[in-house]
C-alpha cells in the first residue's frame, strides 16, 4: 500500500477596501474550490469597517474577519493576514478577482510534483469591461532573470500560492516600505525567485478585473516612486540593458502622464540610449505630443497588457 502525502491546509489572504459586492464574489470562488483539505480565508479590512457577519466555519471551510493592524495599504494588509494564518500553504486573491475551479488542485499538484518548489502561479483571464483576454507565459518555470526584464504580468498576485514556511524563514513577508504598496508583488516574485524558480501552471485559472475598479490604474506619481524604489532594491535591473530600458521607459511614461514634459523627455533619452527598441519610450513620446495617457493605457489593457 502506497502512503499518500497528507493533504495540506490552505490559507487565503483577501485584502479588501470598500468593495463589498466584489469581495463576496471573490470569497465564494475561493470557498468553492474542490480542495479536500482545510481552506481558511482571512478577510483583512484595510481602512474600512470590518463585516463580522462574513465569518463562518463549516465543512472544512473557515472565514475570519480581521482589521489591518500593520501599515495602511495592500502590503500591510497582506502581512496581517499571513501572520494570522497557521496553514501549510498561503495564497492571495484580490478582492475584485475570482478563482476558477481547479486552481488549487493544479497548483498543489505542482508543489507535490516539485518538492523543492516554494511558489506557484497560474496564467489569467483579464476582464476589461466585458472583453476577455487570456494571458499566458508560454512556460512552466519563471526565474529571476525573467523578472529583471519583465514584470511577467500574467503571473498576477491573485494567482500567488506559496509555502508559508518558505516565506517566513526564506524570502520574507511583503515589503511594506515600497511606496503605496505599488509593485510589491513584483518585488515578492523577485525575492522568491532568488531562492527557487517560480513554478507556473500556464492555464488561465483566475479572472482578473481591470478597469474602473483598479485602485492602481492612474496613480502615476506612486508608480514612478515605486519603480525608483525597485531599481534601488534590485540593482540587477539597472545592470541589464533590457531591464534598465524597461524601467526607464516606465518612468518616462509616468512623467509624461503627469504632464512633466521635461522629465519625460529626459527619461526617454536615457531609455533610448540604453535600448533603442524599448517600446515604452515611444508611448511616452506619444503622450508628450498630446495623446492622452489614459487612452494609451486603456488600449493596452484591452489587450491584457499594462504600460
Regarding whether 151 and 50 lie in a shared domain, the answer is yes
45-69: pLDDT as tens digits = 999 999 999 999 998 999 999 999 9
Last residue of a domain, one of 210, 228, 245: 210
Q: CA 274 from chain center: how many Å?
A: 27
Regarding whether 127 and 16 lie in a shared domain, the answer is yes
Percentage of residues of the chain with pLDDT beyond 90: 89
d(CA 102, CA 107): 9
Regarding whether 139 and 23 lie in a shared domain, the answer is yes
Question: What does the pLDDT read at residue 1?
Answer: 44
Classify residue 153 as exposed, middle or buried by CB count within 10 Å of its CB (0-12, 13-18, 19+): middle
d(CA 29, CA 45): 19
Question: What does the pLDDT read at residue 4?
Answer: 64
d(CA 34, CA 14): 19
How big is the chain by its Cα radius of gyration, in Å?
20
Structural domains of the chain, count: 2
Q: What is the mean pLDDT of residues 149-178?
A: 96
Regarding whether 114 and 164 lie in a shared domain, the answer is yes
Regarding whether 78 and 23 lie in a shared domain, the answer is yes
Regarding whether 147 and 245 lie in a shared domain, the answer is no
For 208, what's the count of Cα atoms within 13 Å in the CB-facing half-sphere? 26
Is it the case that residue 211 has pLDDT exceeding 80? no
Regarding whether 264 and 242 lie in a shared domain, the answer is yes
Is it the case that residue 2 has pLDDT exceeding 50? no
Question: Is 52 within the bounds of a domain?
Answer: yes
Question: Is 227 within the bounds of a domain?
Answer: yes
Regarding whether 206 and 114 lie in a shared domain, the answer is yes
State which H helix or E strand residue 208 sits in: strand 198-210
d(CA 195, CA 193): 5
Last residue of a domain, one of 178, 210, 242: 210
Regarding whether 260 and 204 lie in a shared domain, the answer is no
Last residue of a domain, one of 179, 210, 241: 210
Instruction: Please indicate whether residue 218 or residue 119 has the higher confidence score (pLDDT).
Output: 119
Question: Is 4 within the bounds of a domain?
Answer: no
Question: Is 251 within the bounds of a domain?
Answer: yes
Regarding whether 282 and 199 lie in a shared domain, the answer is no
Domain that holds residue 120: 10-210
Amino acid at each position: 500500500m502506497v502512503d499518500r502525502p497528507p493533504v495540506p491546509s490552505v490559507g487565503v489572504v483577501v485584502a479588501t477596501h470598500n468593495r463589498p459586492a466584489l469581495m463576496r464574489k471573490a470569497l465564494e470562488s475561493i470557498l468553492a474550490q474542490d480542495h479536500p483539505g482545510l481552506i481558511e480565508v482571512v478577510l483583512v479590512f484595510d481602512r474600512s469597517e470590518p463585516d463580522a457577519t462574513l465569518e463562518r466555519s463549516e465543512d472544512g471551510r473557515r472565514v475570519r474577519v480581521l482589521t489591518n493592524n500593520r501599515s495602511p495599504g495592500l502590503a500591510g494588509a497582506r502581512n496581517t493576514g499571513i501572520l494570522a494564518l497557521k496553514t501549510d500553504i498561503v495564497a492571495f486573491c484580490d478582492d475584485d478577482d475570482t478563482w476558477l475551479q481547479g486552481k488549487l488542485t493544479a497548483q498543489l499538484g505542482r508543489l507535490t510534483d516539485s518538492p523543492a518548489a516554494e511558489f506557484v502561479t497560474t496564467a489569467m483571464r483579464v476582464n476589461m469591461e466585458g472583453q476577455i483576454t487570456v494571458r499566458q507565459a508560454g512556460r512552466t518555470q519563471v526565474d529571476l532573470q525573467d523578472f529583471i526584464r519583465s514584470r511577467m504580468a500574467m503571473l498576477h498576485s491573485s494567482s500567488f500560492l506559496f509555502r508559508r514556511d518558505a516565506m517566513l524563514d526564506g524570502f520574507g513577508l511583503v515589503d511594506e516600505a515600497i511606496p503605496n504598496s505599488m509593485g510589491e508583488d513584483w518585488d515578492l516574485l523577485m525575492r522568491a525567485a532568488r531562492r527557487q524558480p517560480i513554478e507556473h501552471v500556464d492555464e488561465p485559472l483566475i479572472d482578473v478585473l481591470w478597469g474602473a475598479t483598479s485602485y492602481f490604474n492612474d496613480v502615476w506619481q506612486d508608480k514612478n516612486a515605486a519603480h525608483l524604489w525597485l531599481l534601488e532594491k534590485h540593482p540587477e535591473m539597472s545592470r541589464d540593458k533590457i531591464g534598465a530600458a524597461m524601467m526607464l521607459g516606465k518612468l518616462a511614461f509616468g512623467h509624461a502622464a503627469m504632464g512633466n514634459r521635461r522629465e519625460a523627455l529626459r527619461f526617454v533619452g536615457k531609455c533610448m540610449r540604453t535600448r533603442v527598441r524599448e517600446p515604452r519610450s515611444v508611448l511616452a513620446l506619444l503622450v508628450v505630443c498630446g495623446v492622452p495617457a489614459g487612452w494609451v493605457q486603456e488600449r493596452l489593457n484591452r489587450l491584457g497588457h499594462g504600460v
